[in-house]
Structure 1
Amino acid sequence: MAKDYKARKVQFVTGHTGSSVTDIQSVSLAMPLAILLWSVMQSRLRLFTPYTIPASIVDFFVNCVAVLLATTVYSSSPWLFNLLLFLPAIVILLTSDPLAPRRHPARLAPNNVTDKQTAPNPLPVKPFITHYRASMIVITCVAILAVDFRVFPRRFAKVENWGTSLMDMGVGSFVFASGVVSVRSSLKIDTGKRQPLSKRLVASLRHSLPLLVLGLIRLASVKGLDYAEHVTEYGVHWNFFFTLGFLPPFVALLQSAFDIVPSYGVLACLLASVYEIALDKTNLGAFILTAKRNDLLSQNREGIFSFFGYLAIFIAGQSIGSFTLPRQQPLRKDTSVVERMKRTILGKLAASSFIWTALFYFSISYYGLRLGVSRRMANLPYVLWVSSFNSAMITLCCAVETVCFPSIYRSESNEEEARRTRDATSSILHAVNRNGLAVFLVSNLLTGLVNLTMPTLNMGVLASMVVLIGYTAMVVAVAVGLDRMNITIKL
């Protein structure tokens, strides 16, 4: 009986062809629209200050449950759900005046030097980046359990070989979002003072070791518990933690390439293109898709070779982070619209989004390269699709912040800027972003627990939604609890 149910579970997530890019975008639009609704309620009504229990419940439903509903019960009518999020936000935005930022009495810094005299932080914390990254983590965590329930459409499950789906975008987005913030350490160091390769490798291996250990623990637990797994996803032994764990040392190795190609975006495209040439002009593509699993390499070919695509995605994320993390330089009032597009972060994001999108459609179009998207191989179109999708999402989040919180970076002091930044950030999304990998690990553990204790395939819509909302609440509770205890788990 147990073996029969396991076979059904494997069959349930096997052989899918996905859905259209437009369908995935329409469903995913719920994320920035939820952020818009939260931002409007905060900037116009100050609903989340102070952060009471009712406010936290609204925060949870707007930023977490909305994403769950968009991918389950409202998945067949995404534009209706998007309208339900958009209309109240627009009504509040048009009928309410923006509230002035809260002012706090100035406090003296050490040695009687006021904070106003302190140089502004060149790499300030930005709410729109926090919101973007945390939302991507939330939808990824929601999907990894929801896919085991019938309420989650099969078109959103990972495709077998070729095609696009919501879950295919989830794993790529997690890597892209990690790349966006990883570039912060590089921006703090003058490029002329780059550390020697040996030191960079040692530092990167320290970051990799915990992830590789988690990969081994997951491997042992999956095999030991006879847990249902989809072999063509990463292979027999490989899993996503191994992919994440090997990224830091390879990124450290590629830093030397910046002496030749001083652009993250160009380097990502070059890496993905070389990998695509290997897939198309050699037997590599056929080996990944059709080879027998005789040895360790062939057993884990999907995870091993798709790593090069994920490495390109990570570097593409760094290309976005390289100009979104630094402080926006002030512009004169008479600056032209064209010049503002070139010099503002929002303008640069819009341009980057357009370029990545154009490259993606060129790679798949009849008059372009005529390639198919394959998450299984993480090929060139997949890399470009993930980069296009994520750059568009972070652009929308930046636009929301620009409209709702225009005065964050006009503060008179660093201390005041920190307060305004905190007021403009969802407490739940802040907590999720602070411990993103830890939250992802907890969601994996809870997913395994639910699947081992509940017949998810046999549960109706109501029971499924109760379990999924409870699961999401537990994941969020862990993130908020760690944040309240001022704990950051670095994996």
Structure 2
Amino acid sequence: MADAGPGVGGEVGGGIPSYKQLKEDFVSNLSGGSAIEIAQVCAVAPVVSLLWSVLQARQSFFKPYTPIAFVVDFLLNVGALLLSVTLYSRVPLLLNILLLLPAGLLYLDSTGGSPPRRKKPQVPPQAQKQQDDTKTSAGGLSTKPFLTNYRGNMLVVTCICILAVDFRLFPRRFAKVETWGTSLMDMGVGSFVFSAGLVASRPLLKERANGNHTTPLATRLIRSLRHSLPLLALGVVRLLSVKGLDYAEHVTEYGVHWNFFFTLGFLPPLVALFQSALKLVPSYAGLALLLGVLYQVVLESTDLKAYILTGPRVDLLSMNREGIFSFWGYLAIFLAGQDTGMLVLPRNLSPSSTGSRRKTLLLHLAARSALWTALYLLTTDYTYGAALTVSRRIANLPYILWVVASNSVLLLAFAGVDTLLFPAFYRAQDVKTEKEVYETATSRVLRAYNRNGLAVFLLANLLTGLVNMTVRTLDVGRIATMGVLGGYMVVVTGVAVGLDVYDVSIKL
């Protein structure tokens, strides 16, 4: 952000607002848009996944992974998402149709066709037993293609939006709302937490597979702190940099000192504590719903909601009340993500099922999507429901249900693409074959984002700050905006893919 001059904190002489004030006003007092439009924008990701998967399954377009393949990979999985929130933001449905048409034509093309199915080799009894043991062991947890596509797309959209929101080309209805309403960026924040919860279920599944159902609380807390400390450190760095550089900030988003890194950092230890509650509520989804309902009851039956929204900022608690109290809503979203992870991560989803594993997976995801969506409609409907309004600022029950329902539907859509075009993944008889199919069925770009997600997100934050300190983003036109955003995503994607090429994993 360019230097605003001597009146950087408020107005320049003569009552003219400073550039910093203009920036803060640009992201303040917004009311969002419709949940249906947001769903149409979010649908671009699985539609792109469908087109990419058809190209790969029918034409083996991305194998070998040539420079041309990388360019197309980038244009589909990054470029299309960038268009969905900029040039096509008014007509996301049109963009979906434009992407679906070539996907449908390629899928129906008789000259393409899936590779022939190989005859299943006969496996000796002892070897078969070892394979079965691997499938149900901790090491047998699988990374399914649709999970990589889901998390990779979520990270790409997040990286795009955190910079795009500072330009006028980015619709104000997609930016975070002030208090009540739905927006794309509000969904993005919740999706990041849901995705983190989904991944956090992996160590729990490993413990259960090893027969360790009662890990001591002290051990769980120590493990959780290892994950929390880097995030809390990043939160402190962000706080100091924002205050030290006099960077434009939206106080009602999280508070005066709180930021999203603090929310992410405090989640693991709180989740470790809540695991003890599973003895009473033997379900992460049930625990998430119970927490969300209790939090909503407190909001409605006490003065807490008024305190969060209108209370004076006189001490450390009141200065950061949005971040502190919305944390309970994010904790519920995280727990719901863990519940979904417990469903989709195990290799053998339902050993006793007579149907195929992929059909069972889709049925389970469809049932959960329907349940969460029904609960969201029940809480928000003005005729037959509770007539509550979504609020990301306080992370109330409707917000929790909206985020969980939307992400569950997205997972179902990505899983549907997987099972349609890469069924060989679910027929794999050993880990090696499964890994080969996984690499065939996933975008190199999305795998790279997924591998170093938090590090890439941190890089995107640093580049966003750099752009805002060097470019007057409010004065940039449409063409220049697309140039800046495109160049920025080339750098972020290039670093992510470069780390993947050199087999570097940065654990934060």
- Could you say which TM-score interval applies, normalised by the shorter chain? over 0.9
What is the CA–CA distance in structure 1 between the aligned matches of 2:128 and 2:231, rounded to whole Å?
39
- The equivalent of 1:439 in structure 2 is 456
Shift of 1:319: 1.2
Shift of 1:416: 1.7
What is the CA–CA distance in structure 2 between the aligned matches of 1:69 and 1:342, rounded to whole Å?
32
Match runs of 1:66-465 below 5 Å:
66-96=80-110, 97-100=112-115, 118=131, 119-121=133-135, 122-190=140-208, 193-329=213-349, 335=355, 344-366=360-382, 367-465=384-482
Shift of 1:120: 3.8
- The equivalent of 1:109 in structure 2 is none
The one of 45, 50, 61 aligned to 2:75: 61
Evaluate the alpha carbon distance shift between residue 182 and residue 330 of structure 1 in structure 2; reply closer, same or farther with a 3 A threshold.
closer
The one of 21, 32, 35 aligned to 2:49: 35
Contact 1:116 1:413 in 2 (8 A): no
Contact 1:18 1:158 in 2 (8 A): yes
Contact 2:375 2:401 in 1 (8 A): yes
In structure 1, give the amino acid aligned to 2:53: S
Shift of 1:100: 2.0
What is the CA–CA distance in structure 2 between the aligned matches of 1:152 and 1:55, rounded to whole Å?
29
What is the CA–CA distance in structure 2 between the aligned matches of 1:135 and 1:116, rounded to whole Å?
37
In structure 2, give the amino acid aligned to 1:33: V
Question: How big is each residue's C-alpha offset from its partner over 1:322-359, in whole Å with a ceiling of 9 and x where there is no partner?
Answer: 11111245889985xxxx79971111001100100000
What is the CA–CA distance in structure 2 between the aligned matches of 1:354 and 1:341, rounded to whole Å?
20
Evaluate the alpha carbon distance shift between residue 222 and residue 395 of structure 1 in structure 2; reply closer, same or farther with a 3 A threshold.
same
In structure 2, give the amino acid aligned to 1:204: S
Shift of 1:409: 2.5
Shift of 1:450: 0.4
In structure 1, give the amino acid aligned to 2:204: S
Shift of 1:101: 7.2
Question: How big is each residue's C-alpha offset from its partner over 1:448-478, in whole Å with a ceiling of 9 and x where there is no partner?
Answer: 0000000110000000001001111111112
Evaluate the alpha carbon distance shift between residue 343 and residue 194 of structure 1 in structure 2; reply closer, same or farther with a 3 A threshold.
farther
What is the CA–CA distance in structure 1 between the aligned matches of 2:359 and 2:439, rounded to whole Å?
26
Q: What secondary structure sits across from 1:193 in the alignment? A: coil
Contact 1:168 1:375 in 2 (8 A): yes
Q: What secondary structure sits across from 2:445 in the alignment? A: helix
Contact 2:162 2:464 in 1 (8 A): yes
Question: How big is each residue's C-alpha offset from its partner over 1:107-159, in whole Å with a ceiling of 9 and x where there is no partner?
Answer: xxxxxx98995444431121100100111111111111000001100110100
Shift of 1:415: 1.3
Q: What secondary structure sits across from 1:372 in the alignment? A: coil
The one of 40, 59, 62 aligned to 1:26: 40
What is the CA–CA distance in structure 2 between the aligned matches of 1:271 and 1:334, rounded to whole Å?
36
Shift of 1:248: 0.3
Shift of 1:63: 0.5
In structure 1, give the amino acid aligned to 2:239: L
What is the CA–CA distance in structure 2 between the aligned matches of 1:330 and 1:348, rounded to whole Å?
10
What is the CA–CA distance in structure 2 between the aligned matches of 1:151 and 1:328, rounded to whole Å?
46
Residue range with higher mean Cα deviation, 411-420 or 374-383: 411-420
Question: How big is each residue's C-alpha offset from its partner over 1:389-412, in whole Å with a ceiling of 9 and x where there is no partner?
Answer: 000000000000000101112234
Shift of 1:292: 1.0
Q: What secondary structure sits across from 1:151 in the alignment? A: coil
Structure 1 gaps of 5+ residues are 107-112
Shift of 1:98: 3.2
Corresponding residue pairs, total: 479
Evaluate the alpha carbon distance shift between residue 369 and residue 329 of structure 1 in structure 2; reply closer, same or farther with a 3 A threshold.
closer
Contact 2:362 2:415 in 1 (8 A): yes
Question: How big is each residue's C-alpha offset from its partner over 1:184-224, in whole Å with a ceiling of 9 and x where there is no partner?
Answer: 11111126532100010011011100000000000000000
Q: Percent identity?
A: 55
What is the CA–CA distance in structure 2 between the aligned matches of 1:209 and 1:283, rounded to whole Å?
33
What is the CA–CA distance in structure 2 between the aligned matches of 1:239 and 1:333, rounded to whole Å?
45
Contact 2:358 2:419 in 1 (8 A): no
Give me the TM-score of the superposition, normalised by structure 2: 0.91
Contact 2:349 2:357 in 1 (8 A): no
In structure 2, give the amino acid aligned to 1:444: N
Question: How big is each residue's C-alpha offset from its partner over 1:294-342, in whole Å with a ceiling of 9 and x where there is no partner?
Answer: 110000000000000000000011111111111245889985xxxx799
Evaluate the alpha carbon distance shift between residue 101 and residue 276 of structure 1 in structure 2; reply closer, same or farther with a 3 A threshold.
farther
Question: How big is each residue's C-alpha offset from its partner over 1:75-131, in whole Å with a ceiling of 9 and x where there is no partner?
Answer: 01111111111110011011144332798xx9xxxxxx9899544443112110010
- The equivalent of 1:110 in structure 2 is none
1:466 aligns with 2:483: yes
- The equivalent of 2:14 in structure 1 is none
Question: How big is each residue's C-alpha offset from its partner over 1:433-454, in whole Å with a ceiling of 9 and x where there is no partner?
Answer: 1111111111110100000000
Structure 2 gaps of 5+ residues are 9-17
Evaluate the alpha carbon distance shift between residue 54 and residue 321 of structure 1 in structure 2; reply closer, same or farther with a 3 A threshold.
same
Residue range with higher mean Cα deviation, 242-251 or 472-481: 472-481
